[in-house]
Every structure is written in structure tokens, then in C-alpha cells.
Amino acid sequence: AKKRACFSTTSSNNTKLPTPLDAPTSGLGLGTAVLFGGLFAAGYFVGTSIGVLPNYQSIKRQFGLGNDVELNVRSKVFFDVSIDGRDAGKVVMGLYDDVQPKTVANFVALCTGEASLPNQPLHYKNSPFHRIIPNFMIQGGDFTNGDGTGGMSIYGARFVDEDLSVPHGGAGTLSMANAGPNTNGSQFFICTANTEWLDGKHVVFGKVIQGMDVVEKVSSYGASPHGRPAADIRIKNCGRYTEDEEEAEAVEASSAATSVEEMQERLDTLREVEAQFKDKKDSVDATLYSQVLGDIVAEKRRLKLELKKAKKESTT
């Protein structure tokens, strides 16, 4: 029987989700939560009176939400995604070459197709996102069978884990799917929420640096309890994301590019803070929790509408 690359070490073909670990006891205090809510009330996240939103690391330190490992992005790759044959947008991922060199080399080669064999293309192009679970992750990379039972690496069928100490840092984290220790192939997943319980079990080798809105759009098509997508979602094209492409996009951008970039940065920050804040739910007064979370959701909605409007104007 074929073994499905997923989030379980079981030999069964049935995909099983991991059981989240208990939340740490030293959670977000009420005083910090009050401060958090107050920042929203003062227009801190909207940026109307205080100024530019600080980066995610500053927010995490201020709210005692822990520290991330310092990771340098070297290589960049992209996916052009389609949904039922229609263009859905571009996702650009930055990769941690220094920490996970073998995993990154495999992923880059599968994006470019440069390691393809005469009778076996090793290429993500036109492969599907076969498993989507909202508020968890989107999974792809099975270019042989398209259903989670196949795929292969440029090194052969499977290759060993590299550095498992790199944590899953919330929405946008790029990690390898597997069927147990040292069973990496071609399947990967992009987190759409905080997934700390996967730390030490899956190799984190990059992050989404552009196009998280596209990832969320893909995530919205997760309808089945088993993760079967409600639409045909594919990697229409993929490859290295070069400096020439970055420069070309910068030239084509409108005069409002800085504003759009700032809004996208705010939106990405809010997504990550929201995931961290939800993890601390049991440590926060219920009424305050509801109020702060409502503010986050409302601000995310506002930013999405503004970004959609700005992108539409830039193409007309």
C-alpha cells in the first residue's frame, strides 16, 4: 500500500492530524492584554496617529510571546498559482540555504525542473495543492500522483532530516511534509496559523515573503475534513525568483507602492500576532479577549479591502 506523506508517523494511508501540545503556563498576562487592547484603541495598528507599525519581533518581545531563531534568506523561488484554471496570484518564498542546504537545494531544483530525468520530470509545475486544512496549512508537492501518496526528491525517493531545531514561526512558514523521521521527498506545506506542535518533527526551510494573500485564498478552498480541496488548485508555473524580476515589478509598481507595501506588512504582522494571541486565550479575560480579537479581525478586513482596491487601481 502507498504511504501518504503527511503529519503522522503511522503506516496507515489515513491522514491524521497531530494533537497540539498543551499551551505553556507562563502565558499572556491580563495587564499585557489590556495594553494590547489599548494600542488598538489608540490607533496603533491602524497607524493613523502613532506612526509606522513596529516589526513582528518588536511586538513579540513587548507582549512576551517568545523569540524566533535568526534566519537568513538566501535563495528565493516563486509559485504562480491557479484556481480552476484561473490565475490566483504569485507566492514568493525565501529559503534558509545556510541552515538547510540539502532541503533548499531539493526544493529549488523541483521549482526549476533542472534535475528532471528523461522518463521522470522532477518539477512542481502543474502539480496540485492536494490537501488544504483552513487555519492549519496547505500542502502540495506530489507531482507524480497528485494525491499525497507520491512525489520524490532529486536525491531519490527520500532523504534525511536536516536541522529540526528551526521552529515553525506561524503563518507563512514553509516546511517539509513527511511520513516519519528521515522520509523527506518533494511534498511540502505552508502554514496558515501557528503550528508549534510540529517543531522537531518537520524540517522548516523557508517562509513566504510575498503573496500571503494568495496562500489565504488557497486555504479558503479547504472544505473536506480530510483536506480535499473544493477546487482544482495548481502550481501553474514556478522557478527561481531573481533580482531582475524584483526590479521589473518595482518599475511597474504605482506611486502608491510604498503604501501598499506598508499595508501588506501590517496585514502579515496582524496575522502572526493573531495566531500568537489565540494561543494565549486561556490567560486573558474573556471579554477583553473578544474585544481585542475583534479589533484584529476588523483591521485585517480593512487592510484586505484597501490592498484589493490599490492592486486593482495599479492594473488599470
Catalytic center residues:
131, 136, 139, 178, 189, 198, 202
Cell, residue 258: 510604498
* Residue 151: HSE in the Cβ half-sphere, 13 Å Cα cutoff: 34
Closest CA to 188 of 77, 99, 69, 103: 103
The one-letter amino acid code at 248 reads A
Across 248-264, b (16+ Cβ under 10 Å) vs e yields eeeeeeeeeeeebeebb
**Do 16 and 5 meet the contact criterion of CB atoms below 8 Å apart?**
no
Measure the CA–CA gap between 206 and 74, rounded to whole angstroms: 10
Dihedral, 19, 141, 221, 88 alpha carbons, nearest 10 = 140
Under DSSP, is residue 278 helix (H, G, I), strand (E, B) or coil? Answer: helix
Q: Positive or negative, the Cα torsion across 231, 188, 126, 215?
A: positive
**What values do phi and psi take at 178, rounded to 5?**
-155, 175
DSSP class of residue 283 equals G
